[in-house]
Amino acid sequence: MKEATAKRITDDLLRPLLHTSWRFFLLVAVLGGIVLMGGIAWMYQIWNGFGESGKRWPVFWGFYITNFVFWIGISHAGTLISAILRLVNAGWRRPVTRCAEVITAFALMIGAMFPIIHLGRPWLFFWLVPYPNQRLIWPNFRSPLVWDFFAISTYLTGSVLFLLLPMIPDFALVRDKTTGFRRKFYGALALGWQGTTKQWHRLESAMQIMAIAIIPVAVSVHTIVSFDFSMAPVPGWHSTIFGPYFVAGAIFSGIAALIIAMAALRKFLHLEDYLHPVHFENLGKLLLMMSLLWAYFVFAERLTTWYGNGTSEMNVFWATQDGGYSPLYWLMVVCNFVIPFPILSLRKLRTVTGCVIASCSVVVGMWLERFLIIVPTLSHKYLTYSWGSYRPGPPEIMIMISTFAAMGLLYTIFSKLVPIISIWELKVGEHPFPIETAAQVKEHAILRTNP
């Protein structure tokens, strides 16, 4: 790599940090306004009573839990994909990893809000935490909701670490390139990074450990989210397929979210030289594979239910297949399979635009899937007398909209504060370090031969 290339990379990727246009402030104001309205909607619900949401007997879970599962699913884009791509040393991962990992961190934070928002008495949410207290009351460790708490907090801690570690050299770079307030700010974040061989080695091994550790955590998180449903003896929920089904769906929606985020970054931050069509092409292929896997899971789950022919299961089955929920069900099939499958399997259509269209469709489809797992089941439990229905209330809709704005807001602010593409990793991909140890020479030779 020429010095000029290194300078171009640094300049291009630091530009968003150093120059801010009025468009940024406008975007932050609009998104922030929507998030604020979501907060007001939540306060309105707390103030007036939970009845302001659309929940009713017997559908006690609705939009909030749908959004919870949806956002935890979206969070499987980043860390999991980035960890797998790191471990198999896929060279094309370099510009992708950070924007993927950020999705994980933010989607988890948003998703983890929903179990609190959906509580009847949200001010007591800390009773889920096993904290020492005078009356020696612990949470009920048999409850999948307590497992959720541990799974999500572990995953959030792990993925934030996984995101922060490779940011340290970049913080040091920003520190060295700037003056004044920025120098102090990034200097603190860089944690005294000097770029010594020892530091590089520690960083490499820490990232290796995190990449390996985060994969089982990610798989377990969505399995445990699926346990929220499959542990209850309720028709349509009590199924052994739910763990892998949810994990596959999570990765599916996660990749779609990643493609959308990458396309937005590419357009707004002018990163065409870094996020190439080949990145979208590769992620598009992954999305295609997950679409097929999703269709396989749905087919397996539906066919088993149909052949099993249990009375109560069939009530839920027909409610989604040709009953009141069938328009949503078939829209889900169209969004998750009928639209993305041809787009992603034909090379001509697997362009940046094509991938983004397919991804938007998948995000809608996967949201519907979460909704269709929860609501039709709860409204068609065993005793026909107790069947019910559900319509979301205004706060539920507003809070849902505000979470999408929150994702956009956090992402916008993050890309303003941190180089959204890992500068040092990009440079390493093209160029070994100036002073190399024997181990590094070997490692970089491997890196070069496996781009």
57, 240, 327, 435: which one binds another protein (CB under 8 A) = 57
145 near another protein (CB under 8 A): yes
386 near another protein (CB under 8 A): yes
Shortest spacing between CB 63 and another protein, in angstroms: 13
Shortest spacing between CB 305 and another protein, in angstroms: 17
Question: Segment contacting another protein (CB under 8 A): 97-105, 115-123, 296-304, 437-445?
Answer: 115-123
Q: What are the C-alpha distances in Å from 343 to residues 296, 330, 335, 432?
A: 18, 19, 12, 38
**Minimum CB distance to another protein smaller for 49 or for 342:** 49
Task: Please report, as residue ranges, which positions from 279 to 298 form the binding site for another protein (by CB under 8 A).
Answer: none
**Minimum CB distance to another protein smaller for 93 or for 118:** 118
**Minimum CB distance to another protein smaller for 139 or for 324:** 139
Shortest spacing between CB 98 and another protein, in angstroms: 35
143 near another protein (CB under 8 A): yes
378 near another protein (CB under 8 A): yes
Could you tell me how far CA 310 lies from the centroid of its own chain?
35
**Minimum CB distance to another protein smaller for 244 or for 388:** 388
Shortest spacing between CB 348 and another protein, in angstroms: 47
**Minimum CB distance to another protein smaller for 200 or for 387:** 387
**Minimum CB distance to another protein smaller for 312 or for 440:** 312
**Minimum CB distance to another protein smaller for 4 or for 383:** 383
Task: Give the burial string for 299-333 (b: 16+ CB within 10 Å, else e).
Answer: eeeeeebeeeeeebbbbbbbbbbeeebeeebeebb
Task: Please report, as residue ranges, which positions from 58 to 77 form the binding site for another protein (by CB under 8 A).
Answer: 58, 60-61
Question: Segment contacting another protein (CB under 8 A): 249-257, 322-330, 381-389, 396-404?
Answer: 381-389
132 near another protein (CB under 8 A): no
Shortest spacing between CB 324 and another protein, in angstroms: 15
228 near another protein (CB under 8 A): yes
Shortest spacing between CB 74 and another protein, in angstroms: 22
203, 234, 295, 331: which one binds another protein (CB under 8 A) = 234
Shortest spacing between CB 325 and another protein, in angstroms: 17
Query: First and final CA of the chain: distance in angstroms?
Result: 14
Shortest spacing between CB 128 and another protein, in angstroms: 5
**Minimum CB distance to another protein smaller for 120 or for 192:** 120
- What is the 3-state secondary structure of the chain? CCHHHHHHHHHHHHHHHHCCCHHHHHHHHHHHHHHHHHHHHHHHHHHHCHHHCCCECCECCCHHHHHHHHHHHHCCCHHHHHHHHHHCCCHHHCCCHHHHHHHHHHHHHHHHHHHHHCCCCHHHHHHHCCCCCCCCCCCCCCCHHHHHHHHHHHHHHHHHHHHHHHHHHHHHHHHHHCCHHHHHHHHHHCCCCCCCHHHHHHHHHHHHHHHHHHHHHHHHHHHHHHHHHHCCCCCCCCCCCHHHHHHHHHHHHHHHHHHHHHHHHHHHCCCCCCCCHHHHHHHHHHHHHHHHHHHHHHHHHHHHHHHHCCHHHHHHHHHHHCCCCHHHHHHHHHHHHHCHHHHHHCHHHCCHHHHHHHHHHHHHHHHHHHHHHHHHHHHCCCCHHHCCCCCCCHHHHHHHHHHHHHHHHHHHHHHHHCCCCCHHHHHHHHCCCCCCCHHHHHHHHHHHHCC
385, 435, 438, 449: which one binds another protein (CB under 8 A) = 385
**Minimum CB distance to another protein smaller for 383 or for 435:** 383
49, 308, 394, 451: which one binds another protein (CB under 8 A) = 49
Task: Please report, as residue ranges, which positions from 4 to 33 form the binding site for another protein (by CB under 8 A).
Answer: none
What is the CA angle 358-28-414, rounded to 5? 70
Query: Which residues here bind another protein, judged by CB under 8 A?
Result: 48-51, 55-58, 60-61, 115, 118-122, 124-125, 127-128, 137, 139-140, 142-146, 149, 228, 231-234, 378, 381-386, 388-389
